[in-house]
Structure 1
């Protein structure tokens, strides 16, 4: 029996589906690729391995083989090559034919069953448990603060215990951010009034992990929006955006989260929905595609997606209040993949930085090349991510900057880890946090 079923004829652009897992995929998506190879030089894993099968073109060939029943979706080589993709979408920027590569690779991951009971358990606990439970995340962040402040972290690192942990846990421990402030980070109020005349009513996505690890950036975002005439609403019913679930191929879970978020922000009756995390923003803007086959939610998802903005995008669109405080800093900007390639947003974060008096913005070479974070990629494929990161840190060092701005929490953590590992003396912050400093903010809240 073939591993996949062709549901219609070639002439009718049939849907292809794996029998045990996954969902329909239009054959026309494969036909977009004309095999020109212009994507190869843009692909981080092709640059590392030099292997055609670890390039976008090579992976599309493999996806077609699975879709046509030539190889099984659980083929170990197919699994490995798809797993090694960072889903950075740099190939989409390079592609002259407009191939929707992100959609293809995320569908392909849905065809692949978890390799072991441990992977199944981890997915259930992380994607379906921790990330979707705000109280559990809050407790986890508090536990991390206790770990850091009690001296336990020093013991773990000094005794070599860290080297005995499984690879993913060891990488996670190395890259954890320093959590200052109270045991439980202060929560944003549900309503923050606009400063002066109200220009827009804006819903703020606070995120799941980022909401705990980068709570200060959410406060800074709310202040910047309010200062620019936005009434900011923070719906308590919102949940994880589903980005990690989408990247893992768990699209049913992502749809559940999407429906909840759409309903939460519909009830808030906002003009825009804003997020400060590039990876989250890319997924939120694709809710229309995620729910396109759901007749009850397709129109609502499309309406939600049209309201979505990155924080820098909306501030520039509305016209933000110019900061007055001078910051004498030499800063370089890292283009987060899902902002530059996923959302085609490049100039707006730079506009925020250029507006800060005294700040010198220095462009790095290959600023839109991936840093190796890619969600949890740097935990699962630590060595590959480190090779990609080393190149990025060289580019940063070449600028002579003392600070790096990046508009995605995962990139910030990865670059901070890179600064420590490769000895590059830079501070890594979100552009919104720098803008907040220029507005005169001294504290997180």
Structure 2
């Protein structure tokens, strides 16, 4: 069969009713969910994105720039190049940090193009060997299942609390691990029991409730940073909001979508759309998750049945810091005397356009001194699991981030768990002393001090 005949057969096999009318625009994309040509139509290759792109900054290579990747994606659609390793590598070397979208005067949606292209690559070039096994085991066999994630959390707690972690570190067993994995083990946070299933499905507000909001607990967030989830619940209820924790919610699917596993991402998206259908607002404390949830409508753009539901859901999603600021959060009265700098998580600053609000939450805490971080919105190298799949590039970006941390700050605040782990690794690597915290944790600490002060006043 000819190439066009193979393409048609593949499309018909996937059951697309409009397969025939799409053949002229598919080029060498053979599968469902092709990159959207309207996303690259406005790109004039002006180069405004170049200096915003971390991988271009590091390599100086055109194919590792946003406009270079857009050109490659367009070239496959025009049939000029094939889906092969030469195409796959620059597409997967992208951090998907969206800094180029902030810089682009034409608002070219590079992030969406990258994710759609990765979906095509993974269908044409499935992973094999260790990488394939990792995807099947972790992305498909672990993250989508809350009970399995909780089991991993239980094993991690046993590892930390039983003395096994200390023994493993003393014996040098970690030395057989790749350096970047060893570094990650060294900064693992204290793992506590997850919020989902431990808290009631509806956590009551303090005083007269203003509104009921849903909260995404997340997969990695609830296993490794359940303390951040607890702080988020306390801050919201302190401000008069009932917090709903639907038991049937799940992983947001961001890591799957970034990895090109779009069908797995869609399955998780459907689960969350159903779980939060009775809520008018869905709050998120993880930047990557929030950005993915806000783009469910993009994920289902070719599904006329799911698209209206996805659009309705995405419109309800908001980062918790923006929600608190927009709803006149209670200003703390007690002082936290500390000097803080703030790192902009990529998917919060570039993906959601949230920059001002988290800084204002911190500025409103008495005693907090803010020190501006140069290039605060440049990627730290975490980028989902990028620091696992591309440790060299991630390490170089982390080095640049740590060089920019202002002197004499005591805390580095941010709004994403991946960034928290990555920057904590940088703090340890450079022998620094800063504490890495989530923005909402500091607001929670201030409220706790307010309550302690009020209790002392009542007792006196």
- Give the TM-score of the pair, scaled to structure 1: 0.92
Check if 1:25 corresponds to 2:35. Answer: yes
User: How many matched pairs?
Assistant: 436
Shift of residue 178 of structure 1?
Answer: 3.1
- Note if 1:122 corresponds to 2:131: no
The structure number with the bigger radius of gyration is 2
Deviation at 1:162, TM superposition (A): 2.5
2:159 maps to 1:147: yes
Check whether the contact 1:363–1:399 (CA below 8 A) recurs between aligned residues. no
- The structure-2 alpha-carbon separation of the partners of 1:270 and 1:120, relative to structure 1 and needing over 3 Å to count, comes to same
Are positions 1:417 and 2:425 aligned together? yes
**How far apart, CA to CA, are the structure 2 residues paired with 1:123 and 1:286?**
22
Measure, in 2, the Cα distance between the counterparts of 1:256 and 1:142: 26
Query: Following the alignment from structure 2 to structure 1, what is the Cα–Cα distance between the partners of residues 116 and 180?
Result: 24
Per-residue Cα deviation, 1:416-436 (whole angstroms, up to 9, x for no partner): 000001222210000000000
- State the partner residue of 1:438: 446
Alignment of 1:162 onto 2:174: yes
Q: Are the equivalent residues in 2 in contact too, given 1:329–1:359 (CA < 8 A)?
A: yes
Question: Counterpart in 2 of 1:381?
Answer: 390
C-alpha RMSD over aligned residues? 2.5
How much has 1:22 moved relative to structure 2?
Answer: 5.3
Deviations 1:15-50 (A, max 9, x none): 55622x552223222222110111111111111111
Give me the whole-angstrom Cα distance separating, in 2, the residues matched to 1:323 and 1:76: 54
Give matches, 1:367-378, under 5 Å: 367-378=376-387
Is this contact kept in 1: 2:34–2:120, CA < 8 A?
no
Which residue number corresponds to residue 323 of structure 1?
A: 332
1:219 aligned onto 2:230: yes
Q: 1:110 to 1:137 in 2, by over 3 A?
A: same
Query: 1:62: Cα distance to partner?
Result: 1.7
Q: Deviation of residue 192 (structure 1)? A: 1.1
Structure 2 CA distance for aligned equivalents of residues 305 and 38 of structure 1: 29
Contact 1:22 1:107 in 2 (8 A): no
**1:283-331 Cα distance to aligned partner (Å, 9 max, x none):** 0011111122222221111111111110011111111111122100100
TM-score, structure 2 normalization: 0.89
| 1:204 lines up with 2:212 in the alignment | no
Structure 2 gap ranges (5+)? 9-18, 451-460
Choose from 85, 92, 113 the match for 1:83. 92
Deviations 1:327-384 (A, max 9, x none): 0010000000000000000011011101111111111110010000000000111121
User: What does residue 295 of structure 1 align with?
Assistant: 304
- Structure 1 gap ranges (5+): none
Q: Give 3-state SS (helix, strand or coil) of 1:132's partner.
A: coil
CA shift, 1:97, in A, is 0.7
Q: Which of 224, 229, 250 is the matching residue for 2:240?
A: 229
1:262-411 paired onto structure 2 within 5 Å: 262-266=273-277, 269-396=278-405, 398-411=406-419
Q: Structure 1 residue 155: deviation in Å?
A: 4.0
Corresponding position: 1:192 with 2:203: yes
Equivalent position of 2:58 in the other structure: 48
Change (3 A) 1:409 1:183: closer
